Homo-oligomer: A and B are copies of this chain.
Amino acid sequence: MSVVGDDSIEVTGVATLDEAGPGDVAFLANVKYTDRLATTKAGAVCVADGVTAERLNLLVSKDPYFTFCRVVVELVGHRKHPFVGVHPLAFVDPTATVGPGTTIYPFAFVGPRATVGANCILYPGACVYDECVLGDRVILHANTVIGLDGFGYATHGGVHHKIPQVGNVIVESDVEFGSCSTAQRATLGSTVLGTGTKLGDVVVIGHGCKIGQHNLLISQVGISGSTSTGKYVTMAGQVGVTGHLKIGSNIRVGAQSGVMDDLVDNVDVLGSPAVDMKEARKIYVATFKLPELVKRVRELEREVARLKDAIVSVSKEENAISDQRPID
């Protein structure tokens, strides 16, 4: 990171380009908004390599959003909690373990024989069922549920018999869940969320899933039971994934997609069922032409019928001509 302009000014806050004043740092992560540099009153702006703006003090780096992130952490910091430890209105079962530096808010629940690591935050209404394990620095936002019973029934004669869910959920370190999300405990063994994975709101992780490290599962994603993902997988909002799939690493899945097959590493997919993103875009474009295509095919059919008639008549006339040929 390099500083262009006056590196002696004092900044104390962070703000958007539009709202920033002389004491604030702002950022430009998307070139789409470059014109806002002309009017911002920010004391300094985090920008990408190559961006210039004479009038302004710039923090220039390859990754301006990450630079901005560091600035916010430095200037403002993460939320300060009004207490550390287990709030008297929270419930932690006497057989559970809670690590040092962890904050458990009112109405959060930690069940029998559960383990919560160090420096975690369980917001109000977060619920960790019996036997589940959270690593260190795990954040559960309000009303997220870890370790409820997997959706497992043996249907016999039309009646759904509940299968005891004997497994648990292991949430590795540095995982963050949004609110009202759920991770179901495994029927046998463990449902796993890998280190550094971040989940949005009302995300559902089915029983027995093995979610890899550093995944981003955005709000309203649902992953059915026993599916695994590799590292660095990003699923956009409202994606659904069927059960028992193997999803590789370095994969991006577009919003509202339905993944119904295994995916190899390093692919981007889109659509329901999800296919290669470029292919899916071509299909979308073609879909919009469909009503017109139907008309064109109908017109072609008429045209071909006319041509057929024309050929028949040409052919008949020609036969008539042939018939008139002088006999050799």
- Indicate whether A11 reaches chain B with its CB closer than 8 angstroms: no
Specify how many copies of this chain sit in the oligomer.
3
With most chain B CB atoms within 10 A of its CB, the pick from A224, A287, A289, A293 is A287
Closest Cβ of chain B to A187, distance in Å, is: 8
Kindly specify which of A51-59, A198-206, A261-269 makes contact with the partner chain.
A198-206
Tell me which of B66, B141, B220 contacts A220 (CB under 8 A). Answer: B220
Q: Is the CB of B285 within 8 A of A72?
A: no
A144-162 Cβ-contact flags toward B at 8 Å (1 or 0): 0100110101111011111
- Indicate whether A6 reaches chain B with its CB closer than 8 angstroms: no
User: Residues of B contacting A304 with CB < 8 Å?
Assistant: 300, 303-304, 307
Given contacts A143-B180, A242-B255, contact A158 B303 (CB under 8 A): no
Q: Is the CB of A182 within 8 A of B180?
A: yes
Closest chain B residue to A232, Cβ basis: B158
- Indicate whether A1 reaches chain B with its CB closer than 8 angstroms: no
- Indicate whether A188 reaches chain B with its CB closer than 8 angstroms: yes
Q: Which residues of A contact B (CB under 8 A)?
A: 14-16, 19, 63, 65-66, 68-70, 72-73, 76-79, 82, 89, 91, 93, 105-107, 109, 112, 123-125, 127, 129-130, 139, 141-143, 145, 148-149, 151, 153-156, 158-164, 166, 176, 178-182, 184, 188-189, 196, 198, 200-202, 204, 206, 214, 216, 218-220, 222, 224, 231-232, 237-238, 240, 242, 255-256, 258, 260, 272-273, 275, 279, 282-291, 293-294, 296-297, 300-301, 303-304, 307-308, 310-311, 314-315, 317-318, 321-322, 324-326
Closest Cβ of chain B to A208, distance in Å, is: 9
6 A–B contacts, CB within 8 A, in A order: A15-B188, A107-B109, A129-B142, A151-B178, A285-B291, A287-B290
Q: Is the CB of B109 within 8 A of A124?
A: yes
Distance between Cα atoms of A153 and B234 in the complex (Å): 13
User: Residues of B contacting A284 with CB < 8 Å?
Assistant: 273
User: Residues of B contacting A242 with CB < 8 Å?
Assistant: 237, 255
Given contacts A125-B127, A318-B321, contact A19 B204 (CB under 8 A): no
Q: Is the CB of A325 within 8 A of B324?
A: yes
User: Residues of B contacting A142 with CB < 8 Å?
Assistant: 109, 127, 129, 145, 148
Q: Is the CB of B314 within 8 A of A325?
A: no
Q: Is the CB of A198 within 8 A of B296?
A: no
Q: Is the CB of A66 within 8 A of B161?
A: yes
Distance between Cα atoms of A110 and B299 in the complex (Å): 66
User: Residues of B contacting A73 with CB < 8 Å?
Assistant: 163-164
Q: Is the CB of A256 within 8 A of B240?
A: yes
Given contacts A124-B91, A125-B109, A286-B291, contact A69 B161 (CB under 8 A): yes
